[in-house]
Amino acid sequence: MRLLDIRRDEAFKMVLTWLMCALLSIGYAIGWSAVHSMLVKRMGVEYLPYTYIGISLLGVFGSSVYLLFADAVRRDRLLMVFAGATGLALVLARTLVTARPEGEKGFTLPLLLFFLAVFFAQGVGNSTLGTQVWTIINDLFRPSQGRRLYPILGTAGTIGGIAGGASIHYLAGTLGTANLVLVWAASIWLLIPLTLWLRKRFGGELRGRHAGTASAKPRGSHLLEGWKFFASSKMAAILGFVAVMFWVVGSVADFQYTRIMNATFPTESKLAGYYGVYGMVINTSGLLVQIFFSGYLIRRIGIARGLCALPLTALAGFALIAARFTFWPGLALRYAWDMVGMTVQGNSYQLAMNAVPAALRARIRGVIDGVINPLGGVLGGILILCLHHFFDATGDRGWLDPVTIAGFVLTAAWFLIVSRSGKVYLETVAENLRSAEARTAMDAIDCLEEPGNPRAEALLDEVAEMPDPEKRAAAARVRGAVRSRSSLLGLAVSCADPSPQVRHASVRALARVPVSHPLPPEAVAAVSRLVESDPDLSVRSEALHFLLMREEPEKAGKLAAAWLNHGSADVRVRIVEALAGQDVDRPRLLAPCLSDPSPAVRSAAICALWDAPGGRNAARSALAELLSESDPSAHGPALIACHRTGACPDAERARRMGESADPVIRVLAGAAAIRFCPGPHAATLDAIFETLADEAHAGRLRAEVLPLVPDLGEEAADAILLAAAKLPPESKSHVSKVLGEWYLVLESRIARPEP
Amino acid sequence: MIELHESQSGDVTVISLSGKLDAATTPATEARLVALAREGKKFLALDFSGVSYLASSGLRMLLVLTREITSLEGGLVLCNLDDTMKGTLEVTGFLPYFRLASSADEAIGLLRV
């Protein structure tokens, strides 16, 4: 899993969604090959070009049907209905023809109905299933996960295609070509149990928009809403344009490539053999690139540049075939097209969909994948027919070849438009950042991971000023992934954020920058300040960890020792506390702190050494000594050490400290008596509540006792809690002035979940 | 030992707890509930009708769970708490951070909206 960078809680989702993508691909590879062969052999090759156009138009119709329901009906339910109906159409189609190829020679009615039914199943059902599966994938994974996981999910199509293609020969021989349509239907139906399984495990994530309310809207207005957004959104228009150009330029490139290969391989069998070898090479190498390289590349170049990769590749390929219209340039054109198309381009395209607001995503994906894409197919088909009709016989090659010139012009237009996509993409993301819908806004922050893009960094600066700490923390995480100088400087600033959540996220983001990557001195200084003065232990600890981690072990030890010699006792306490969670030689480093002039430093050192291997004996002796001190300033630190270690060498002395005039000492001593002395403790509890209910001490107790409540031990904390819950309303209200921030105290102690 | 009984109502998972939520039982309960949320059951209704005691470690568990569920964009509703438990949540400042329901059905309704 580490090799593929899949986290434990993502694994099951990944397996299910990968299987869904693979099943679609296997079924299509097997079923479509069978239908294609049956069409050529039973009806004639002359019908083939028209099927591309016909299926594309049916695809437009199917997508329109899908769009009526997208985002209004639950994603999982819609997918199952489409899968069920598509499989059924394929099975019914199969009943119309015989298994024998010679059964229906020529243009018969059953054969015509068979192809109509199959094309209807493909155009209306199957063409939207991929869209639906990817919409579900968008829901299940955040964009930050997508950058790691989409390339892996992208392998499903390739592996499915290889597996499907490899099994066709055997299956056709065993079952008969016509029955492969049933295999296709079965693979589509298998999506249903997988979807049910997905719903059982992750049902809440498949709700779509405002589950339970959106379906009340009329279907027509729902569809109209999707088209309106498509018409008004520049980003949606660019994605649509990319889809069209992919098909149109792809048709031109394929046309030229086919001409070259047709001229290179004189016989049909040699040409077919070459295609077989090429298919294996491109699928295998594409798979390797997709798994090991594509995700990294997208993270480094960003989505906007990723969308420019394919037109740039195509321009280079057309230049090559213009220079030499022979095998190797032709192969280079096709190989680069397929490789970039299935990796960088495909992933960038899928990730760019995250710039579309979450509530409209399914409809926009439906419009682009289901309507615009098929239209691209129609245009590509017509373009091929026209180019073939007008220019194929001219014999011009090289730079004067009209087809190559058409490819150049179209690709240049594609590149020019798409080169603006970065700006438009970020404009859309900027709008989404202000969305009231949490998912859309958080996805937009993730979309700002565009290394080297000043506008994205400026938007991150804006997010870092937003009132919601969740968003500021998300911005910090993205800045850590971007790693540019300005984003690292931004992290230095957010280290001083008022929210501990943001400070923690900022330090953690800095800690994830590889040690080999230079950090601006401002960032290191900001983290050093946190080590010295941050009131939140988890932030301090993370900050110290960051500083020590970036040093060699020997230097890290010296650095820690230098911190421990700081002139301020408060700073020394914080360093000792932060060292408790570090992988350092604590007994050696902290031994001098056990005789520190400050009782608070000694108390912190006792706690830090308590669980350190080889540190407890020295800590126990120091605790006994601290507890026996007559100086009242040592009482508080001694009691704190007792509570934090769960040990009290002299319980009676701790109990007697309850007679102190200091309310903080009285409460801590009372809690120690409950914890370490035999009961009953009714009188002690009364004394504690008398102190807690005294409004004169509320402020100090809240500041000094409340943060220690999680350390008081289960017995004492529970006794206080239960008794407090049963107090009369007026006393309860006084006590809750002190204990009312228990939630916040606990929250500061608990490790934050990884986003 | 605390027992967890799980039932499903649409996307909402109702977990009926029975026993004492104290230091001995909460670590395992917390691990189980967090795992459920991470596996996708992130709309949770916790039914406390069988819980006889909510200790400070139980509060900690609720905090961990609500934080996890919030990060997963899910929802958590506590139902059937007795007066002492409500008092504990009130005096410790936990109350504003949780949605309470008087029955499992009400909790399911709150999570469905």
The residue of chain A with its CA nearest to that of B95 is A743
| Of A45-59, A428-442, A560-574, B96-110, highest mean pLDDT | B96-110
Give the angle subtended at the CA of A195 by the CAs of A7 and A117, to the nearest 5°: 135
- Which residue from A minimizes the CA distance to B7? A200
pLDDT(B12) > 60: yes
Nearest CB to A714 within list B56, B67, B87: B56
A495-549 residue pLDDT tens: 999 998 899 999 988 888 877 788 888 988 898 888 878 888 778 878 887 887 7
Please, where are the H alpha helices in A611-662? Answer: 616-628, 635-645, 651-656
Q: Determine the distance from the C-alpha atom of residue A126 to the mean position of all C-alpha atoms in its chain, rounded to a whole number.
A: 27
Task: Dig out the tokens for B78 from the structure.
Answer: 């506590």
Count Cβ–Cβ pairs < 8 Å, chain A vs chain B. Answer: 103
Calculate the CA A386 to chain-centre distance.
44
Q: Are B63 and B98 contacting, i.e. CB atoms less than 8 angstroms apart?
A: no
Q: pLDDT of A146-174, one tens digit each?
A: 777 887 888 888 788 788 877 877 787 78
Calculate mean pLDDT across residues A269-288.
Answer: 70
Nearest to B93 among A211, A722, A742 (CB): A742
pLDDT in tens, A598-620: 999 999 999 988 888 888 888 99
CA A630 to CA A750: how far, in whole Å?
35
Task: Please check the confidence at residue A211 and state whether its pLDDT lies above 60.
Answer: no
Closest Cα in chain A to B55: A718
**What number is the average pLDDT over the span B6-20?**
89
The residues that bridge with B99 in the sheet, in sequence order, are B77
Query: Is the pLDDT score of A45 beyond 60?
Result: no
User: In B54-103, which residue ranges form alpha helices assigned H by DSSP?
Assistant: 56-71, 83-91
Q: HSE of A97 in the Cβ direction (CA atoms, 13 Å)? A: 36
A212: confidence class by pLDDT, cuts 50, 70, 90: very low
The pLDDT, as a whole number, for residue A210 is: 39
CA nearest neighbour of A638 among A691, A598, A609: A598
pLDDT of res. A333: 93
Say whether pLDDT at A752 is over 60: no
Q: Which helix (H) or strand (E) holds A408?
A: helix A402-418
The structure tokens listed for A348 are 């960038």
Q: For residue A574, give how far its alpha carbon lies from the nearest alpha carbon of chain B (Å).
A: 24
What span, in angstroms and rounded, lies between the C-alpha atoms of A389 and A193? 48
Paired residues of A215 in beta bridges: none
pLDDT at position A485 over 70:
yes
The string of pLDDT tens digits covering residues A28-41 is: 888 877 786 777 66
Please tell me the predicted confidence (pLDDT) of residue A202: 74
pLDDT computed for residue A563 by the predictor: 77
Chain A residue at shortest CA distance from B38: A9
Q: Are A199 and A76 in contact (CB under 8 A)?
A: yes
Instruction: Summarize pLDDT for A219-238 with one digit per residue, the tens.
Output: 556 667 777 777 778 888 88
Locate the chain A residue with the closest alpha carbon to B111.
A204
Q: Decide the pairing of beta strands B75-79 and B43-54.
A: parallel
* Separate counts of helices (H) and strands (E) for chain B: 4, 5
Nearest beta carbon to residue A743 from set B41, B71, B94:
B94
Q: Let me know if A102 is exposed, middle or buried by CB neighbors in 10 A (0-12, 13-18, 19+).
A: exposed
Q: How confident is the model at residue A191 (pLDDT cuts 50, 70, 90)?
A: very high
Q: In what order do the strands lie in the sheet with B3-9?
A: B3-9, B12-21, B43-54, B75-79, B99-101
CA A500-A504-A506 angle, to 5 degrees, is 115
Chain A nearest CA to B51, separation (Å): 14
Which has the higher per-residue pLDDT, A438 or B66? B66
Tell me how far CA of residue B66 lies from CA of A75, A325, A674, B16, in angstroms: 26, 64, 30, 17
* Contact call for A743 and B84, based on CB within 8 A: no
* Residue A209, pLDDT above cutoff 50: no
Measured between its terminal Cα atoms, the distance across chain B in Å is 34
Q: What is the arithmetic mean of pLDDT over A379-405?
A: 72
What sections of A434-584 are H helices per DSSP? 438-446, 454-463, 469-482, 485-494, 500-511, 521-533, 537-549, 553-564, 569-579
CB contacts, 8 Å: A750 with chain B: 60, 63-64, 67
Q: For the residues A382-403, what does the mean pLDDT come to?
A: 70
**Cβ–Cβ under 8 Å, residues A512 and A493:** no
Q: Which of A743, A745, A749 to mutate to test the interface with B (most CBs of B within 10 A)?
A: A743
* pLDDT score for A435: 85
* Of A23-27, A529-533, A627-631, minimum mean pLDDT range: A529-533
How far is residue A205 from each of residues A141, A196, A471, measured CA to CA in Å?
A: 9, 13, 21
**Selection from A470, A459, A510 nearest residue A488 by Cα:** A510
pLDDT of residue A1: 41
Reply yes or no on whether the pLDDT at A214 is more than 70. no
Q: Min CA distance, B31 vs chain A (Å)?
A: 13
Checking if the pLDDT of B57 tops 90, the result is no
The whole-angstrom distance between A740's CA and the closest CA on chain B is: 4
Put simply, whether B40 touches A (Cβ < 8 Å) is: yes
Q: Pick from B22, B93, B112: which is nearest to A743 by CB? A: B93
pLDDT band at A205 (very low <50, low <70, confident <90, very high): low
Element (H, E) at B79: strand B75-79
Q: Considering CB atoms only, which of B39, B42, B91 is closest to A739? A: B91
For chain A, give the mean pLDDT. 80
pLDDT in the model for residue A222 = 60
Q: How confident is the model at residue A80 (pLDDT cuts 50, 70, 90)?
A: very high
Q: Does B6 touch chain A (CB under 8 A)?
A: no
- Residue A695 scores a pLDDT above 60: yes
What is the CB neighbour count within 10 angstroms for residue A212?
12
Given a cut of 70, is residue A120 above it in pLDDT?
yes
The predicted pLDDT at position A188 comes to 94
The C-alpha atoms of residue A135 and residue A349 are separated, in whole angstroms, by 13
**DSSP state letter for A752:** P
Note whether ipTM > 0.85 here.
Answer: no
pLDDT at A407 over 80: yes
* Lowest mean pLDDT, pick from A193-197, A393-397, A567-571, B7-11: A393-397
Measuring CA to CA, which residue among A463, A547, A450 is closest to residue A507? A547
Closest residue by Cα to residue A701 from A653, A739, A753: A739
Q: How far apart are CA A179 and CA A171, in angstroms?
A: 9
**What is the DSSP secondary structure assignment for residue A551, as one 8-state letter?**
S
pLDDT of residue A213: 38
- The one-letter code for the residue type at A490 is G
Does the pLDDT value for residue A192 go beyond 90? Answer: yes
